[in-house]
Amino acid sequence: MPFKLRNFTARTRALVLQRAIDLVDHQSVLLLDHDDEHAQSHVQNNRGGIYHVEIRFRDEEVVFTHCDCPYRGVGLCKHTAASLLQLLVVQGFDLKSIKSSEYHFNDADIDEENEEDLVLKELITEINNDKYFDLFQFLASQDREQLLGFIGHYLEESEDIRLVVMAYLWYKGERQTPTKDFLS
Ligand SMILES: [Zn+2]
């Protein structure tokens, strides 16, 4: 999994990369400390809070990244990407030097496999093995406010394109059949 700092764009989706550039551009990334082995930063989120990002280096390569946001999509989250980009910027990197070929619109083009992916794989195995977890029953049993809060938070932080597509199809369906109850 080790990669050169400058190659972080190979592990970042196009939309996430754009958000990361915006975060750096708007000075939303605060580097707390950084040296040859380690970096920590705080990145402002949309709700006025912060996410904490941790990065470790070995032999001038990134060997570990972690962010405490809930992103579970493909590749790095925007906070991690923004923190890596901020590290480049303090070394004199110009944001405008990112080439258009570095924007990866296809998930299959993203380099992956880090600790977070392994955690996700373990979680999926756990879900498969949990006989008592029924997604639809669980979601349907939540009260409407909590459910909408969950969806809002998920959309804001995960940028999962599948959810956006589902929401769009729902929106289209609503326009055709205006009277349709939510989860009933
Ligand atoms: Zn994050």
Position 184 pLDDT exceeds 90: no
Position 84 pLDDT exceeds 80: yes
Return the pLDDT at 113. 65
Q: Note whether 76 and 8 are within 8 A (CB).
A: yes
Answer with the residue of higher pLDDT: 73 or 164: 73
**Strands 29-34 and 3-4, how do they pair?**
unpaired
Give 48's pLDDT tier (boundaries 50, 70, 90): confident
- Give the pLDDT mean for 164-170: 72
Average pLDDT, the chain: 85
Cα-trace Rg, the chain: 19
Q: Distance from the CA of 77 to the center of ligand 1, in angstroms?
A: 5
> Domain spans of the chain?
3-120, 134-176
35: left (phi over 0), alpha (psi -120 to 50) or beta: beta
Position 180 pLDDT exceeds 70: no
At 93, list the tokens.
Answer: 């990197």
Position 25 pLDDT exceeds 80: yes
Q: How many C-beta neighbours within 10 Å does residue 19 have?
A: 18
SS3 104: strand
E strands of the chain, at which residues?
3-4, 29-34, 38-44, 50-58, 61-67
Q: Distance from the CA of 159 to the center of ligand 1, in angstroms?
A: 11
SS3 40: strand
| CA–CA dist 169, 136 (Å, integer) | 18
| CA–CA dist 142, 135 (Å, integer) | 11
Return the pLDDT at 179. 53
Instruction: Tell me 140's DSSP state.
Output: H
Q: Distance from the CA of 50 to the center of ligand 1, in angstroms?
A: 10
Answer with the residue of higher pLDDT: 116 or 48: 48
- Ion ligand 1 neighbours (CB, 5 A) are 51, 67, 69, 77, 79
